[in-house]
Chains A and B, each alone.
Chain A
């Protein structure tokens, strides 16, 4: 059990190294990457923006309810901004990305495996890692931080909508307290987290797809495992990164 888990994580790391080695050559074909950024990033935009809006609105409601008990509802902007930037933005976006784009990647690659497309590429001396895996991996790493930034901005707008428009928190206090309390380091922390989550999500998706059993059941299993493994990995990484940033 433990040996199996160790073996799997080792295999994932080795696969990451193999993919990274192919990333340089893959950059020579930017068209492939653009195509994948569109598939994984641009087409996740609607779900990310909708979720961001609702998460921000909930944050506005809950934050207001909590803060008004202490008579400090002016701090709503700070609470919403820090909550979104440091935790909710990166984590929720990465989880949604794993569900929306990670599964699509895994099943696409798994199906390529099942229909022997990857083998055919190898027969033609085309490295599938270079032509199929690396562009998808790079695209995921590019897309997640951008999606997180969009999620954060939309979320802030949502919190502002509830806090200022509905609950009548003073707009000036909302924004100015936020600006005086949020430091550039907080934004930086969110960006670092989103990069790490982007790498983790994309890696797990392409790994599970590439190593799927070439059967219908195998592809289904790979898709499921993508969601399960990336979700757990995101939350684990989130804890580690938070601890590292707080310990600085």
Chain B
């Protein structure tokens, strides 16, 4: 009976360890992963002209502090703009209603995130409210293109004047 017992304990330990590892991988690794005991949140939407490569799960931050994440990204056919739903933690429920949302980049080549700049209103964002003032993603490629186009045309002008 003794070897049978140790066999069962060994197997149980192995399976337990395996599942613990699996749970660690699914909950701790992806920032947007399954969260155990999710805290209270509320949902706010914002419309952008261009969201760049913003992804579902990208962080939403205010003054550099992470306050929530992007829940879903949709497209509004009536005005051809992207509709981004943000899920913001309930502990940050005093964000003025006229705050602005802008899509920014972490570092030079890092991922995109949404930065919220506070407004001055006395009323606060709440479940279902929409952020009116938004600023689109700055697409680096188009910026570089514009710069070179400018550069080239200036160079051309100089050639002509000489």
Stretch at the interface among A36-44, A118-126, A206-214: A36-44
Stretch at the interface among B6-14, B82-90, B95-103, B153-161: B6-14
Query: Could you say which of A37, A153, A179, A180 contacts B24, with CB atoms under 8 Å apart?
Result: A153
Q: Which residues of A sit under 8 angstroms from B25, Cβ to Cβ?
A: 85, 149, 152-153, 187, 190
Main secondary structure of the interface of A (DSSP, over half): helix
Minimum CB–CB distance for A70 against chain B, Å: 10
Is B29 at the interface (CB under 8 A from chain A)?
Answer: yes
Q: Which residues of B sit under 8 angstroms from A81, Cβ to Cβ?
A: 29
Give residues in A with beta carbon < 8 Å to B.
34-35, 37-38, 41-42, 45, 72, 81, 85, 142-143, 145-147, 149-150, 152-153, 176, 178-184, 186-187, 190-191
Stretch at the interface among B30-38, B41-49, B117-125, B128-136: B30-38
Query: Could you say which of A34, A35, A180 contacts B31, with CB atoms under 8 Å apart?
Result: A180
Q: Which residues of A sit under 8 angstroms from B34, Cβ to Cβ?
A: 184
Q: Are A37 and B30 within 8 A (Cβ)? A: no
Q: Which residues of B sit under 8 angstroms from A72, Cβ to Cβ?
A: 109
Q: Are A38 and B14 within 8 A (Cβ)? A: yes
Q: Are B26 and A187 within 8 A (Cβ)? A: yes
21 residue pairs from A and B, CB less than 8 Å apart = A34-B7, A37-B11, A38-B14, A41-B15, A143-B14, A145-B18, A146-B14, A146-B17, A146-B21, A149-B24, A150-B18, A152-B25, A176-B31, A179-B29, A180-B59, A183-B30, A183-B32, A184-B26, A184-B30, A186-B30, A187-B29
Total number of B residues with any Cβ neighbor in A under 8 Å: 27
Is B57 at the interface (CB under 8 A from chain A)?
Answer: yes
Q: In the complex, what distance in Å separates the CA atom of A108 from the CA atom of B59?
A: 53
Q: Are A180 and B18 within 8 A (Cβ)? A: no
Given contacts A146-B14, A146-B18, 8 further A-B contacts (CB under 8 A): A42-B11, A42-B14, A146-B21, A149-B21, A150-B17, A150-B18, A153-B21, A187-B26
Which 5 A-B residue pairings sit nearest by Cβ, starting from the closest? A146-B18, A149-B21, A42-B14, A179-B31, A149-B22
A-B contact number at CB 8 A = 83
Q: Which residues of B sit under 8 angstroms from A35, Cβ to Cβ?
A: 7
Q: Are B21 and A152 within 8 A (Cβ)? A: yes
Is B19 at the interface (CB under 8 A from chain A)?
Answer: yes
Q: Which residues of A sit under 8 angstroms from B11, Cβ to Cβ?
A: 34, 37-38, 41-42
Q: Which residues of B sit under 8 angstroms from A181, Cβ to Cβ?
A: 111
Q: Which residues of B sit under 8 angstroms from A191, Cβ to Cβ?
A: 22
Minimum CB–CB distance for A101 against chain B, Å: 12
Q: Which residues of A sit under 8 angstroms from B28, Cβ to Cβ?
A: 179
